[in-house]
Structure 1
Amino acid sequence: MRIGKLLLMMCLVGSMLGACATKEETVDLLTIAISEQPNSLVPTRLEGREAGFVQAQLFETLIQYSDKEFVPLLAEGLPVCDESGTKCVVSLKSGITFHDGTTFDSTSVVYSLMHLIEAQSTDWTDSIKEVKALDATHVEISMNYPDGTLFSKLANPMFAMIPADSDENAKLDEFPIGTGPYKFVSGGKNKTIKLTRYDNYHGEKALIGEVAIVKTEINDALTKLRDGEVQIVLDVPFDAEDELNALEDVKWVQGDTSATAYLGIRMQSMANPKLEKAAFRTDLMSAIDVDALASTFGSRKIDNLFGHGVFGDSAIELDFGNTSDAWKGETILLVTPTFPSDFPLGTEIKDALTAMGYNKVTLSEVAQSDYATALAAEKSFDLTVFVWEYALADGGDFLDAMMGVDAINPLRIQHPEIDALLLSANRSVDPALRKDALMRIEEILVEEGVLLPLTKVVRHHALSARLTDPSFLSDGAIRISNLAFSE
């Protein structure tokens, strides 16, 4: 691996010149290298994993998903909904303040939720009709229809809390204000982002007082990590592990995410009518060696990737038998978004199919901004590879986007049992009811040869060995508030 070999060579040469001695870190300053500068840190304009990482230190949501269940964060408890599922009341914690000293209360909750709904105006937020304050610590959410994904939405970073009227005319872009363990000091386009510990934080206070987040090219970042100029490098290519572990003052960590990569196969295609046959779809799936794919990308093999990644624990066997020569001459259109160079899923799938005799596979990579349009088109693809990055909780939001009332249903799924199960799941926030329905849907999708889990998405980071072992956010980024320098 070029990065690793270059780093080791520098260290060997540096050791002879005394250049590999680690510089003394300032104990109360944590410097973090990221590869891309966030365009915005505001929840309603959140885009990209770097922005998500910084935003997670500044902002918080009413509830969060932790250890496979929803738990309150800024709320006193989980939302309580009436029998119809169209009115839900949220009780708020008292005594919490925003970074600017203003009080977190029902007024700020109403503004935060409605601000996103008005800014987005998409199918994703259509279920929420109105949010109103009942008193200072209680908010009522009125729904246009029962929405089983409401909890997932309230736990989504885009629904993070901000002070009332704080983002009028996009003011928060200049100076973000949240309730998180760190508060914003300074930053901007192509500038170092500086954070400081929020001493009035309502939870456990951050252990390190100051944070500097710097956009740095990966080779330069790893050199600075070795020399002690930075203490964390986010998102290091997975094949640098052995080389980085060989460095005495550096440790390699892996953060699991709530995301899974999938192969989606259309049940119906005007371009390829044979996709209507389940035998053809499962034959395509059987050509993919999922274990080898996971190993290639450094993801640890876990049981039932699909179940763990989206719908909870499920005992589904991914065994489709052997491929058949009867289908080998078919033309296959594979469309994917553009993946990072160290995560070439589209290419890997094409190569796997070609190796099994499917020699008419055409791969088209499109920009993320054009991907939804490509999925909606009738003749644009037979197969697609995608990563669902916000599959929080039991996966209801995943299914809502795939097959919900207003979804484009890109895989052209038609199955009466799925329709009935979706109806029951989408109208309930009852975890037990939803889990039963969603796990049965999972079985059907796999058995029908429509959706195949490829690999759980993980992120790799490099840290100074002087830092304590980190914990991780749901997107695989490092939670920095509980990091400390060891003695």
Structure 2
Amino acid sequence: MKKGKRFIALALMVLLVGISITGCGGGSTSTGSPDSGEKVDKAKETLIYAQGAEPRGLDPALVDDGESAKVMINIYEGLLQYNKDSTKVEPSLAKKWDVSEDGLTYTFYLQEGVKFHDGTDFNAEAVKFNIDRQIPPQATPDMAYGSFVYGSVKSVEVVDNYTVKINLTDPSTPFLNNLAMVMSAPMVSPKALQDNNNNVNQTPVGTGPYKYVSWAKDENIVLVRNDEYWGEKALTKNVIFKFIKDNSARVVALNNGEADMIDGIDATVVDQITGAGNKVFQAPGMNINYMAYNTSKAPFNDAKARKAVSQAINVPELVDSLYQGYSETATSILPTFMEGYDKSITQAAYDPAASAEALKAAGITNVHIITYTNPRPYNAATGQALAEAIQGYLSKVGVTATIDSFDWTTYKEKIKAGDYDICFYGWIGDNGDPDNFMYLLAHEDPTMNVARYANPEFNNLIKEGIKAPAGPERNKIYTELEKIAAADAAWLPISHAQTLAAYRPNVQNFLYHVTGVTPFAGVSKQ
């Protein structure tokens, strides 16, 4: 960190220590100019959000996890953004756009006078720099989301300082929605990328309502309001993302006033939270919680073996037990409200007798499971609890499951290495389009396609779905993709979680967006 940033970080942390001493227990310190007559309540100047795991990084091209997204949404902006209540796209850094009749050219007209946090200009050259970075030949293997957002992009042209054209190889129905995502789509300062060897995971520079100040490993990330922001400025001066891995410890922090908002809560703590006078944010979730088989090696390169294990698991019973009404049993990959969902699709039915017979015939007596220790938005019970429940079901059909558990960052590396038979994962929809879910099983990156599933028929249908115009015929493609996935049993879909978070009663306008991010510009404390 440069010397100037060290000073800013130190000064802010001194301020925040004062806040924690005077404000966390509900009190506050008011200060002001003797002549102004104004008083400033310092406790109201800082929002503290406690989350269950640390971000992997803060470069939108190089991360793919929700913990990172919650921070990045406050630092960066894309050409487009989602409406606060849906995935309907709205203008952001692009004030308007045109689409050619053949669907192959998108022309964006940019906001003028916008600055990155480092003082450099946002313009058409910056847009081209950000997109070119994530498409061949510049794209690198660690840009997991690049193909989601820019897979159809052929080239980017700078028309003038505030007009840019994006040319596609094929029509792409989800393209506009993709440009509002918090992964890959946000604009990063080209100067910051050049200064930091094309990686700003630790030095993020965007155009958003908050600026990055510091990151204390295993403790917190501190942001400060961007007072030069081009749009409506944030209401609260400081935001701290605090990392508290244990669910119960986060609840205690909320109830004690040491945190203003928390995530990763489950049914077991709702009464404890509301009993202390705090509030619960609850909404339908656009997500899937699933178990994945490693289809790239024996024994689960055989669909019959995958189906046999799935038959050992009573999914409705498991969901009721673990989530106690705050998740619904998943019968397919897509959430029930998404285009392409078909209620007739079913997974391998619970049949422990058939499972035991098939597993014995296949000689499967042991499986290696890996899982994560922290809560996730799609699995508030933690990966550990879910893995242990599966372990119990497998023991009843004569299979011993060995579980290795890891913190989230390490878990991602273990997934990449591929040393497992079964793993647990999930997905929060980024853009409201069914392709965003189903493409996971066609992705070449093993940290996205954790089942390492490869089916040419499936992959060809994915390509058709991207190009197909919105409507019933396109929906049929995604229904067919669901049917193929269910027949091949690469995943065992488990549940769709409700979005749950909690906040103190003096927090105003708290929002946990359907895409799993937490924008704080409009949030304040009374």
Interval of TM-score (by shorter of Structure 1 and Structure 2): 0.7 to 0.9
Selected match of 2:372 from 325, 328, 338: 338
- Judging changes above 3 Å, is the alpha-carbon distance between structure 1 residues 136 and 309 closer, same or farther for their aligned structure 2 residues? farther
What secondary structure, in the 3-state scheme, does the structure 2 residue paired with 1:42 have?
Answer: coil
What secondary structure, in the 3-state scheme, does the structure 1 residue paired with 2:133 have?
Answer: helix
Aligned residues: 455
Residue matched to 1:120: 140
- How far residue 58 of structure 1 moved from its aligned partner, in angstroms, is 1.2
- Judging changes above 3 Å, is the alpha-carbon distance between structure 1 residues 244 and 101 closer, same or farther for their aligned structure 2 residues? same
For normalisation by structure 1, the TM-score amounts to: 0.76
Give the Cα separation in 2 of the matches to 1:124 and 1:175: 20
Residue matched to 1:55: 72
Corresponding position: 1:138 with 2:155 = no
- Judging changes above 3 Å, is the alpha-carbon distance between structure 1 residues 41 and 94 closer, same or farther for their aligned structure 2 residues? same
- How far residue 328 of structure 1 moved from its aligned partner, in angstroms, is 0.9
Residue matched to 1:245: 274
- Judging changes above 3 Å, is the alpha-carbon distance between structure 1 residues 221 and 391 closer, same or farther for their aligned structure 2 residues? closer
What secondary structure, in the 3-state scheme, does the structure 2 residue paired with 1:120 have?
Answer: coil
Any idea what the Cα deviations from partners look like across 1:108-160, whole Å, max 9, x if unmatched? 21122223443634575363443231222332234456656544543332321
Give the Cα separation in 2 of the matches to 1:402 and 1:262: 13
| 1:445–1:451 CA contact under 8 A, matched in 2 | yes
Any idea what the Cα deviations from partners look like across 1:50-107, whole Å, max 9, x if unmatched? 4322211111122345524444432234672563x65443333445443445443211
| Amino-acid identity (%) | 17
Corresponding position: 1:73 with 2:98 = no
Amino acid across the alignment from 2:140: Q
Residue matched to 2:206: 178
RMSD, matched Cα:
4.1
Amino acid across the alignment from 1:125: G
Give the Cα separation in 1 of the matches to 2:262 and 2:450: 38
For normalisation by structure 2, the TM-score amounts to: 0.71
Selected match of 2:477 from 437, 452, 473: 437
Residue pairs, 1:291-330, within 5 angstroms: 292-293=318-319, 296-297=322-323, 299-301=326-328, 306-308=333-335, 311-312=338-339, 314-317=341-344, 318=346, 323=351, 325-329=353-357, 330=359
Give the Cα separation in 2 of the matches to 1:439 and 1:426: 14
Selected match of 1:89 from 107, 118, 123: 107
Amino acid across the alignment from 1:92: L
| 2:510–2:520 CA contact under 8 A, matched in 1 | yes
| 1:263–1:454 CA contact under 8 A, matched in 2 | yes
Give the Cα separation in 2 of the matches to 1:226 and 1:216: 14
Corresponding position: 1:362 with 2:396 = no
What secondary structure, in the 3-state scheme, does the structure 1 residue paired with 2:387 have?
Answer: helix
Amino acid across the alignment from 1:110: K
- Judging changes above 3 Å, is the alpha-carbon distance between structure 1 residues 267 and 101 closer, same or farther for their aligned structure 2 residues? closer
Unaligned 5+ runs, structure 2: 1-23, 29-40, 376-380, 406-410
Give the Cα separation in 1 of the matches to 2:480 and 2:191: 44
Residue matched to 1:352: 393
Please, which moves more after superposition, 157-166 or 55-64?
Answer: 157-166
What secondary structure, in the 3-state scheme, does the structure 2 residue paired with 1:233 have?
Answer: strand
| 1:309–1:391 CA contact under 8 A, matched in 2 | no
Selected match of 2:27 from 14, 23, 28: 23
Give the Cα separation in 1 of the matches to 2:53 and 2:485: 36
Residue matched to 2:289: 261
Amino acid across the alignment from 1:197: R
- Judging changes above 3 Å, is the alpha-carbon distance between structure 1 residues 79 and 302 closer, same or farther for their aligned structure 2 residues? farther
Amino acid across the alignment from 1:113: I
Residue matched to 1:472: 512
Give the Cα separation in 1 of the matches to 2:402 and 2:426: 17
Residue matched to 2:7: none
- How far residue 180 of structure 1 moved from its aligned partner, in angstroms, is 1.9
Amino acid across the alignment from 2:125: T
Residue matched to 1:4: none
| 2:314–2:350 CA contact under 8 A, matched in 1 | no
| 1:311–1:393 CA contact under 8 A, matched in 2 | yes
Residue matched to 2:216: 189
Residue matched to 1:422: 462
| 1:346–1:363 CA contact under 8 A, matched in 2 | no
Give the Cα separation in 1 of the matches to 2:241 and 2:444: 41
- How far residue 336 of structure 1 moved from its aligned partner, in angstroms, is 4.1
Amino acid across the alignment from 1:131: V
Residue matched to 2:38: none
Residue matched to 1:230: 259
Please, which moves more after superposition, 310-319 or 47-56?
Answer: 310-319
Selected match of 1:288 from 307, 314, 318: 314
| 1:148–1:396 CA contact under 8 A, matched in 2 | no
Selected match of 1:454 from 464, 476, 494: 494
Amino acid across the alignment from 1:115: R
Give the Cα separation in 1 of the matches to 2:300 and 2:424: 18
Residue matched to 2:17: none
Unaligned 5+ runs, structure 1: 1-19
- How far residue 466 of structure 1 moved from its aligned partner, in angstroms, is 1.3
Residue matched to 1:484: 524
Residue matched to 2:181: 156
| 2:284–2:499 CA contact under 8 A, matched in 1 | yes
